[in-house]
Copies of this chain bind each other. A is one copy, B any other.
């Protein structure tokens, strides 16, 4: 077994941008992203990335995820490896994330999740 530090493993990633949408649905009445059209946002993002020719290894992957545990800021998505979190509202927000961040590498500051918002 040979281990190396995470820092030294910084090769180009399998995906350039890997975005995860929280699609969690709670049945107990607590806030959850699924109440806020997260599935529609995921579908929109997936379709826009594909239409823009951005999908695939070395490019962009749009992924479903379970609860990301920042429910008070939901609906949320996180883009890695940058670790940029977004709280989005509508389809226009998704389109801007795709065009600005996923295509051009520019963070959409107005949609960035406030650091103090967690579960």
Which residues of chain B are within 8 angstroms of A85 by Cβ–Cβ distance?
14
> How many copies of this chain are found per oligomer?
2
Indicate the size class of the contact surface on chain A: 35 or more
Residues of chain B lying within 8 A (CB to CB) of residue A6: 82, 84, 101, 105-107
Of all chain B residues, the one with the shortest Cβ separation from A56 is: B69
Cα–Cα distance between A3 and B107 once the two chains are bound (Å): 5
| Minimum CB–CB distance for A6 against chain B, Å | 5
| A83-B80 CB under 8 A given contacts A4-B106, A20-B20, A65-B20 | yes
A9 at the interface (CB under 8 A from B): yes
Residues of B within 8 A of A68 (CB): 61, 63
Binding site for B on A (CB under 8 A): 1-6, 9-11, 13-14, 18, 20, 57, 61, 63-70, 78, 80-85, 96, 100-101, 105-110, 115, 118
Please, how many angstroms separate the alpha-carbon atoms of A70 and B78 in the complex?
20
The interface residues of chain B lying within 8 Å CB-to-CB of A9 are 82, 84, 107
Report whether B2 and A110 are in contact in the complex, using a CB–CB cutoff of 8 Å: yes
